[in-house]
Amino acid sequence: MTKFINLLVSGVISGAIYSMLAAGLTLTNTTTGIFNFGYGAVAFTCAFVYFELQNGLGWPNVWAGIVVILVLAPLLGLALDRFVFRRLSRASDASKIMATVGVLIAVPALAEFIVALLIGVGHFDIPNGSLVSLAPGLGPEPPVQWHIGSTFNFNSDQLIVALIALLMASVGVYAVVAQSTSRRTREIGIRMALGASAGRVVRLVLARGLLQLGIGLAAGLAGAVLAMKLMHGMPGLSQHGDAPVFAVVCALLVAIGGFACWLPARRAAHVPPTEALRAE
């Protein structure tokens, strides 16, 4: 039991990272129609810049994280949306996949090329990024350790990753379900005008949201297993991938996702039928 709990705690952190990957792929595919492999390039580039700011320029962890998360990540995402993804809206599926794979390869390579230029031409005293996987977390350094009993051990970095993963997953599920519900406002109005109760509307929207969540979890589990095999042996990541670990992560996401689905479902049930019928 002691070994199981230790593996569970360490594996949940890796599972949280994989859940963010799954949530991002599901959200972008649902909202844009593009299965965006390239968003992983944004994640790597942000981590790469965070490592250079923190390790190369000596910035405090928190300030480096704020600049990367609140400035670099949105700007990079907007640039890719403006110059790449908007132009793919009417492209074929093959073109969309090839373009996102190209972004996945090109953006990190461009970041590494710029750093190499800064080192070789600009003579900046910064690392080349080969140890980016060992970048410190956003929490205190060294991480604060917590011990609950004799078996339950975790640190501040692990806690931050898990909380951010749950937050992103819940926001992503809410955004997808809310957008889907808004598109069906007129349909919901017709149903309510024909006598459908508020409870039935809630169940209708909730079922659709949970179906999307289930599909996302299935795709995420497949991606997590594949990613675990590909990243086996990388420093800084848990090497454990027992089925109970994935089960616990899925249970957490279902609980959070269910609540995120319930919010737009409840809102849809309280839209006056006359207003819903006027919606385009």
Q: What is the CA radius of gyration of the chain?
A: 22
Instruction: Kindly report the backbone phi and psi dihedral angles of residue 35, in degrees, each rounded to the nearest multiple of 5, phi listed first.
Output: -80, 90
Instruction: Specify whether the CB–CB gap between 137 and 238 falls below 8 A.
Output: no
Distance between CA 45 and CA 112 in Å, rounded?
9
Tens of pLDDT along the chain (280 residues) come to 555 555 665 666 566 666 666 666 766 776 667 777 777 788 889 889 988 888 888 888 888 888 998 899 889 888 888 888 878 877 887 888 888 888 888 998 998 899 889 888 888 888 887 777 777 777 777 777 777 665 556 777 777 777 777 777 677 667 777 777 777 777 777 777 777 787 887 888 788 778 877 887 787 777 767 766 765 655 545 555 556 666 776 777 777 777 777 777 777 777 776 666 565 5
Q: What is the pTM of this model?
A: 0.58
H or E segment to which residue 154 belongs:
strand 152-155
Closest CA to 175 of 209, 148, 150, 218: 209
* Structure-block tokens of residue 152: 């339950």
Q: Is the peptide bond before 142 cis (omega within 30 degrees of 0)?
A: yes
Residue 79 vs residues 23, 46, 74, 86: alpha-carbon distances, Å: 21, 14, 9, 10
